[in-house]
């Protein structure tokens, strides 16, 4: 049509690329509060995040895959990894042992990738002692205790004695909430996920994580 104005093209500009070191993002919560669901959502939505695959001595569940959810090993092998210092952290939970292999985490961080940890407060304490400057921790709270129990029963992954054990342990786990950098209340999974992604975005922008920032600023100063 005559006289119609063509839409203006947006200027793409130059893409800013500043090298950064990856960070360790920890998600902890009582069983059933939603940390595993949030972890899966984050991994699906952000290709720069990879899961730290823990080793464990517990039996594999029907819906789990070796190497994806956990690396399932025997107790003697786990003990050897502890002795050799091959684990960043480890803990005993409900009679089973869990731990985080050191080497793949260090490779990912050096490559600028973020590593997601789905671990409990014991593992978080150990990580904090060894690498405080490289981690950010989030504690996920349930909206209520009845809702926490309902979620445990709905997912139908555990027998009744295990559910009772998880509920009994929830009080101990909740007592550590103030040790974390951030707290998210999971009363709505979509809102909780948005809060987790906002935390990750802010942590990535911290000055000390952007290893290429000094060179970038020097380049700006050189143009003055």
Q: In the chain, what percentage of residues exceed pLDDT 70?
A: 92
Q: What is the pTM of this model?
A: 0.81
Rounded to an integer, the average pLDDT of 77-99 is 92
pLDDT band at 11 (very low <50, low <70, confident <90, very high): very low
Residue 155 has pLDDT above 90, yes or no: no
- The residue ranges of every structural domain in the chain are 24-206
Q: Please tell me the CATH superfamily of domain 24-206, with its number.
A: P-loop containing nucleotide triphosphate hydrolases (3.40.50.300)
User: CA 165 to CA 63: how far, in whole Å?
Assistant: 21
């Amino acid at each position: 049509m005559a006289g119609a104005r063509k839409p203006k093209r947006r200027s793409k500009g130059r893409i800013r690329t500043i090298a950064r070191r990856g960070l360790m993002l920890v998600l902890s919560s009582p069983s059933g509060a939603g940390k595993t669901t949030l972890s899966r959502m984050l991994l699906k939505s952000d290709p720069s995040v990879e899961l730290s695959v823990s080793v464990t001595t517990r039996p594999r569940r029907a819906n789990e895959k070796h190497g994806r959810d956990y690396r399932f090993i025997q107790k003697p092998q786990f003990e050897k990894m502890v002795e050799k210092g091959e684990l960043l952290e480890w803990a005993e939970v409900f009679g089973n042992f869990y731990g985080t292999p050191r080497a793949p985490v260090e490779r990912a961080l050096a490559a600028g990738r973020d590593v997601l940890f789905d671990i409990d407060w014991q593992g978080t304490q150990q990580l904090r002692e060894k690498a405080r400057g490289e981690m950010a921790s989030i504690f996920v709270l349930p909206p209520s205790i009845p809702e926490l129990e309902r979620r445990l029963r709905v997912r139908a992954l555990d027998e009744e004695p295990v559910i009772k054990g998880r509920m009994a342990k929830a009080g101990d786990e909740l007592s550590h909430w103030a040790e974390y950098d951030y707290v998210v209340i999971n009363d709505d999974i979509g809102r909780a996920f948005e809060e987790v992604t906002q935390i990750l975005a802010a942590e990535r922008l911290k000055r000390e994580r952007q290893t290429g920032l000094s060179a970038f600023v020097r380049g700006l100063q050189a143009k003055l």
